[in-house]
Amino acid sequence: MTAIFIMSDWLAQISRVPSALAGLDMSMPGGGVVPLLGDSYWMYELSRAVLNVSVPVGRLNDIATRTLATRQDQCYPCPNFLIYTLDATGPLYLSALFSPSGVVNEFVDVQGKHAATCRDIARDAITMPKNTNGTLPLKTNLTLKIFRTGAQKNPGGINSYSD
């Protein structure tokens, strides 16, 4: 068993048994073939695959161990939004026949200063050529675009800014 945990993205998993054998540990929770039904692409198929020996029990144990070892239940914030609605309140369990209502979207602003940081990076990437003595063959009606390394300020690249 390795220490890596592999989870699919929303609706990115396109196989059942092959994905389990290739190392997928968790099918992205909450989104199945029909997202509003609340099922998973594996759902009962993984159980069937273990029972008919398409997926070895050892692989199932590996999946369970790595899934539980993520410890996402410790100091992990509760979800503060429901992807299926923009309403503040609604049913807490969409696929349940009878569901209590409650707050489903808290509208938490998670952007922080990201917009200002992106604008600073874009501003700093602007390159203004100095045309001393008319050396550059520029005309007033010409658009000049500079790409690649000349269009960046940080020599480490655009993704080198720390969070």
Q: What is the pLDDT of residues 80-112, one digit of tens each?
A: 888 788 899 999 887 778 889 999 999 888 777
How far is the C-alpha of 103 from the C-alpha of 125, rounded, in Å? Answer: 43
Distance CA 95, CA 72 (A): 24
The rounded distance, in Å, linking the Cα atoms of 20 and 27 is 9
* pLDDT given at position 73: 66
Domains of the chain by residue range: 1-76
Task: Write down the pTM of the prediction.
Answer: 0.45
Q: Which residues are catalytic?
A: 9
Start-to-end CA span in the chain (Å): 32
- Residues 6 or more apart whose CB falls under 8 angstroms from that of 93 comprise 99, 100
Q: What is the pLDDT of residue 154?
A: 59
